[in-house]
Structure 1
C-alpha cells in the first residue's frame, strides 16, 4: 500500500468535477474551497478542455451542449461522443466505443509474449482510427457469440455456420475500392469462361484477357483461373458482391460457400447477409454472395504490391508452398495476412492474400495439379514449313473441300425431295372442329434461326454489363429488334426441340439458338416488364393495382397451360410454374417461360428426382414423385394467390417460413373469412369491389390446391371461371 492515500479529488476526472460544479451554479471554480484543492494550473487546463469540447462558452458558462453532457456519469469527451453519435445516427457503434474506452484495454500484452500479442492485435487494426479498431474487435466477438477465446478458434471453425470467425478482410487501405483478383478452380458446370464469369459477376472479356484464352474457352478440371473483380468497402470489410440463383433443393449455405464458391465466401457470411434460414433454401431463390477480397495498404503499396489476389487454401497447403507457387516472398505473404510466423497453420476453405506487383496475366502457378492443359478451342498456331510442302497441302486441302461441298449438296437435295414428298402425303384435311384447328396450329413447326456467335456478340455488345438483364441473360438488338439471349451451360436441344413445335401467344417464343465451342445460347423474344414476381414487388402504380390487369395476367397463364396440356402433340407438363417463370411484355401480357424441366404427358408417371420451386410443388409430387398435368394446376393456384395478395409463395417472418397457400387456406376455411382476407391482401387492392374479387379468386385457387389431384379443375374450367370473373371487373 501507499504510505498516504491519494486524495479523492486527485483520483477523479477534474473536467467532470468542474462541469458538475458549473451545473450547481458555482461560477468561480478557481476560488471554490476544495478539501484537497488541485493546482490552479490543472483547473485552468481542465476548463480550457471543456471550452474546446464546447461545454463552456467564452465567459465560462455552461452551453446547451454542456448541460446535456453533465447528465452522463462519464468523462466529458465520452459524453460528447455519445451525443454526437445520436446526432450522426451511429449511436450503436459509438456506444461500443464508449463502453470499451470506459474499461481496461481489451488487448493484453504480457512481457514474454509481446510479438505474438502485437500480431494478434494487428488482425483487428483499422489504420484510420483506434476507435474503429475497437468496433472491429467487438463485431468479431459478437459474430463468435461472445466467446472469450474466439481468437483461438478462428481457423478450424470455418465449417461451422454459426460460430465461424468471419475471415473477411477489414477496410484498412486508403482506397475504398480497387481492382482485385480471385483464384477459382474450374469444375463442372463452372468450367468455362462464360460460366465462371457469370458465377462470380466478372467481365467475360477481362477473364479471357487475364488468362490469355478466348471468351468461350472450356478449362480442364481443376485448372486455376484468375478472376478480376471490383473490390470495395462494405461497412468495415472489403468484399466483391455476386448473386447466386439456387438451382436445386439440396443446396445449403455450407455447400454454396465451400463447394460452389470454393471457400471464397463463408457459410456464416451467407447466413448473415441473406434473410433465409440455413436449411430453408429452395430452388429459384436469389442469394447475395460476398466474396473475400482486399485492397493493398499504403505500406504494401510502398513495397511494390499493386494488387492483392485471394487464394483459397487447399488440403496440404502451407505458406512456403504457396510462396513458391506464386513466386511471392514468404515475408510478404506473412505481412499481408498478419500471420504470427511462416509456420502458421493454414486451414482448408479459408483464404489468404497474395500480394502482387502487377496484374496476374496468364498466371502459371507452377504446380502440375493446377496447370492441366486447357481444351483447345481455337486453331493451332501455324508452323514453319517449306514452300513446296505448303503448296502440296493447299492442293490436297482444296480437293478435299471441293469434294465435301459436292457431297453435301447431293445429300441436301435428296433430303429435300424426301421431305417434300412426305409433306405432300401429309397435307391435313380442312378441320370442321375448333379444337382440331387449334391442334393443327399448335403443331406447325416454327423453325428457329441458327445464329452465328458473332451475331450474338455484336447484338449484345460483347455481352457487356450494360446489356445484362439478370444472371446469364442479356438483351441485344438484332436488325432493329430487341431480343433476349440466355447463356446455358447444359445441352439445350431438348428445349429447342420442344419450343420449335409450339405456337401460342402465351408461351415464350424461341427465335433461335447458337452453339459455339461447347457453349449454348437461346434467343427469345424480349419481355420488357420482366417476371411477374418482379412486377408485383415494384413500386405501386395504377397498372400494378388494377384488378383488370391482374386477371388478364391470370387468364394469359391459364390459356398458355391449357394449350400446353391439350393442343400440342404430344402434350407437355411444364413442371416449374411460378411467378419467376411468368414473363410480361410491354403491354403486360403474360407468357410462360423456362421449359427446361418440361415433360411430355405421354411419359408422365413417377420420378425420384425432385426438382422445382418450394411453395409451388404439388404434394403428390413431393411425397410420391407423381408427375401429371395436375401439378401445373396446383402451381397455378399458388400464382393466383400471389396475384391476389401480392405476397411471395413462401412468406419469411421472424418466427420462420410460412407457405402462402397454408396461410390463405386457414383464412378461407375459418370464420369471418372475408374480414380476415381483407387484412391479408394489399390495402390498395381492397377498394371498390376489390375484396369481393379477391374472395372469388381465392376460392378458385383453393380448388386448384386440393390435395387429391383428380379433384382439381382442368385448365379449361379455370379459363372459363376467369372469363366470368373478368366480365364483372371494371378497373
Structure 2
C-alpha cells in the first residue's frame, strides 16, 4: 500500500486540528496588543490569558493523542494487509507446486499406520475398499503380471497416484496383525531397506484370506516379461541390458555389503527384477530373504529352478555367493534371450547354464548364441568381458565366484555415462536412452 495514501488523512486531520490552535494564538496576540493600549485592566487580561493557555494545552494534548491513535490504527491496517498478501501468495505457490507434483492426499485420508512387531518401522495399512476401487474390482484388464498364485494389478488411486498391488491367497491366521510368514518377511525387510535399486513398499492390506502388498508402480513390468513376453526383448538394446545388470548388481551389493545386517535375497530371478518407465531396474520380492552368515534352523529350501546355486541344492549351504550364482543366470538371460530352463521334451529340461557354458568360453561360438535383438550391436571386446563375468558367476564351486562388488566394478565401465556407467562412447546412444 502506498504510504502517501495512508498518511494523507493524517495530514488533513492535523490541518483541521491546528486551525483552532492558530486562532487561539491570534487571540493571544490581539489580547496582548489590547493590553498595551489599555494598561488599566492589566490584571483582568492576565487571568484571561492563563485560562486560554490551559485550554490550548488541553486541545494540543487531545489532538496529539487522537493523531497518534489514528496513525497507529492505519499502521496496524497496513501491516495486516501486507501480511495477508504474503500469505495469499505463499498459498497460491504451494497450490501450484502441489498441482505439478505427485500427491496422494486423497489416499492419505484412507490410510492408517501401524507399527511392525519389532517397533522399528511404520508401514501403511491400505483399506480394502480403496484397493478394490483403484483396481476396478481387480479387473483382468489391470493385471500386470502373474507368478504362481500371485497376481500383480495396476492400481490407479487418482490422476497423480498409481501403484502396483500384488495379491496372494493365504491360509494364515485371519488376525489383522498377522501376515503370511513369507509376506511378513517381505514387509519386514522392505520397510527397513532404502535404496534406489530396491523396490519401495508402500503398504499392505489383509482382507479375509487374501493378502495384498502395495508397491511403487514400475511401468515396464518385469525383466522376465520384457525378455520372454510378446516383445521378446525388442525394447532392450545392448547398453540397456548392461545397465539393467548394473542396477541389479548395485542392489545386491547394498544387501551384501552395506545393509546392517547383511542380507541374502535367496530368490533373485528375472521376474523379480522390475523396470520403470526408463528401464531402470529395481529388485523386488524379499519373501525368502535371510540374514547372511547366520545359521537358520528349520528353514525351508527356496528359490526357482534354474537360478538356485548347486551347493544350496545339494547341501543346503546358503551364502551371498548363492545370489551371485543367480545373478550370473540373469546375465546369461540378458545375453542369450533364453529362459533359465528350456523344455527339451515333455519330461526333460535343459538348464541355460549347462547349455551356454561350453560356448561362452569359445570366442568363435559366442556371437552365435546371442539374442538376435542385440547380435552384432556391440564391441566384441565388451562382449567377451561380459561373458567372462557370467562364467565366473555361475561356477559350481562358490569360492570361485567373485564378490558382487567385483562384478559391479567390471560392468560399470561398459555402460555409457548417459545410462549411469562410466563408458564414453563416440556414437550417439539416444535411440537406446529413449526407451
TM-score clears 0.5: yes
Separation in 1 of the partners of 2:381 and 2:263?
A: 34
Deviation at 1:606, TM superposition (A): 7.7
- Answering whether residue 270 of structure 2 is matched by residue 579 of structure 1, we say yes
The Cα RMSD (Å) is: 2.5
Q: How far does residue 473 in structure 1 lie from its aligned partner after superposition?
A: 1.8
Task: Pick from 154, 164, 170 the counterpart of residue 484 of structure 1.
Answer: 164
User: Matches of 1:688 and 1:517 in 2, distance apart?
Assistant: 52
Question: How far is the alpha carbon of 1:550 from its aligned partner?
Answer: 0.6
1:370-413 residue CA offsets vs partner (Å, 9 max, x unmatched): xxxxxxxxxxxxxxxxxxxxxxxxxxxxxxxxxxxxxxxxxx9x
- Deviation of the 1:598 alpha carbon: 0.9
> How far did 1:689 drift?
3.2
User: In the alignment, which of 342, 353, 356 is matched to residue 651 of structure 1?
Assistant: 342
In the alignment, which of 356, 360, 363 is matched to residue 668 of structure 1?
Answer: 360
Go from structure 1 to structure 2 and tell me whether the alpha carbon gap of 1:650 and 1:517 turns closer, same or farther (over 3 Å shift): closer
| Alpha-carbon offset, residue 513 of structure 1 | 0.8
The one of 220, 226, 233 aligned to 1:529:
220
What is the aligned partner in structure 1 of residue 247 from structure 2?
556
- 1:209-608 map, 5 Å: 447-471=122-146, 472-479=151-158, 480-490=160-170, 491=180, 492-537=183-228, 538-539=230-231, 543-544=235-236, 546-604=237-295
Structure 2: stretches of 5+ with no match in the other structure: 1-113, 171-179, 416-422, 430-435
- SS of the aligned residue for 1:523 comes to strand
Larger radius of gyration: 2
Looking at structure 1, the residues matched to 377 and 304 of structure 2 have their Cα atoms a distance apart, in angstroms, of: 34
Deviations 1:651-708 (A, max 9, x none): 2235942211112211134xxx122112211234232435433322111011111222
Report the 3-state secondary structure (helix = DSSP H, G, I; strand = E; otherwise coil) of the residue aligned with 1:603: coil
> Is the Cα–Cα contact under 8 Å of residues 359 and 366 in structure 2 kept in the other structure?
yes
Distance 1:540 1:661, change over 3 A: closer
User: What is aligned with 1:721?
Assistant: 410
Q: Please list the CA deviations of residues 398-438 of structure 1 after superposition, one character each: whole Å capped at 9, or x if unmatched.
A: xxxxxxxxxxxxxx9xx9xxx9xxxxxxxxxxxxxxxxxxx
Q: Secondary structure at the match of 2:154?
A: strand
Per the TM alignment, residue 459 of structure 1 is displaced from its structure 2 partner at its CA by 1.0
Describe the shift of the 1:608–1:450 C-alpha distance in structure 2 as closer, same or farther (beyond 3 A).
closer
* 1:300 match: none
3-state SS of the aligned residue for 1:616?
coil
Task: For 1:51-200, list aligned pairs within 5 A.
Answer: none
Q: Residues 605 and 626 of structure 1 are in contact (CA less than 8 Å); yes or no, is this contact kept in structure 2?
A: no
- Aligned pairs, how many? 286
CA distance 1:668–1:477, shift in 2 (3 Å): closer
Q: 1:508 to 1:446 in 2, by over 3 A?
A: farther
- In the alignment, which residue of structure 2 is the partner of 1:641? 332
Q: Tell me the residue number matched to 1:701.
A: 390
CA gap of 1:516–1:686, structure 2 versus 1, over 3 A, is closer
The change in CA–CA distance for 1:642 and 1:607 in structure 2 (over 3 A counts) is farther
| Paired residue secondary structure (1:559) | helix
Moved over 6 A (4+): none
How far is 1:506 from its partner? Answer: 0.8
Equivalent pair of 2:261/2:292 in contact (CA under 8 Å): yes
**Residues 38-94 of structure 1, C-alpha deviation per residue, up to 9 Å, x if partnerless?**
xxxxxxxxxxxxxxxxxxxxxxxxxxxxxxxxxxxxxxxxxxxxxxxxxxxxxxxxx
How far apart, CA to CA, are the structure 2 residues paired with 1:502 and 1:627? 21
Cα distance, 1:617–1:455 mapped onto 2, change above 3 Å: same
- Report if the CA contact (8 A) 1:685-1:691 is conserved: no
Taking the aligned partners of 2:351 and 2:210, their CA distance within structure 1 comes to: 38
Q: Verify the 8 A CA contact 1:652 1:658 in the aligned structure 2.
A: yes
CA contact (8 A) 1:449 1:512 kept: yes
Match of 2:45 in 1: none
Alpha-carbon distance between aligned partners in 1 of 2:424 and 2:407, rounded to the nearest angstrom: 16
Q: Which residue of 2 aligns with 1:189?
A: none
Offset of 1:565 from its aligned partner? 1.4
- Could you say if the C-alpha distance between residues 687 and 607 of structure 1 is closer, same or farther in structure 2, counting changes exceeding 3 Å? farther
Deviation at 1:611, TM superposition (A): 2.0
Greater helix share, structure number: 2
Aligned with 1:697: secondary structure? Answer: helix
Residue 548 of structure 1 and its aligned partner are, at CA, apart by 1.1
In structure 2, the CA distance between the partners of 1:711 and 1:607, relative to structure 1 (3 Å rule), is: farther
Partners of 2:375 and 2:210 in 1: CA distance? 49
Deviation at 1:447, TM superposition (A): 3.0
In the superposition, relative to structure 1, how do residues 531 and 723 fare at CA in structure 2: closer, same or farther (>3 Å)?
A: same
CA contact (8 A) 1:605 1:628 kept: no
Q: Structure 2 CA distance, aligned partners of 1:563 and 1:596?
A: 17
Shift of 1:470: 2.9
Q: Is the 8 A contact 2:190 2:201 kept in 1?
A: yes
Distance 1:608 1:513 in 2: 25
Normalising by structure 1, report the TM-score.
Answer: 0.37
Distance change >3 Å, CA 616–CA 450, structure 1 → 2: same
Q: 2:323: which partner in 1? A: 632
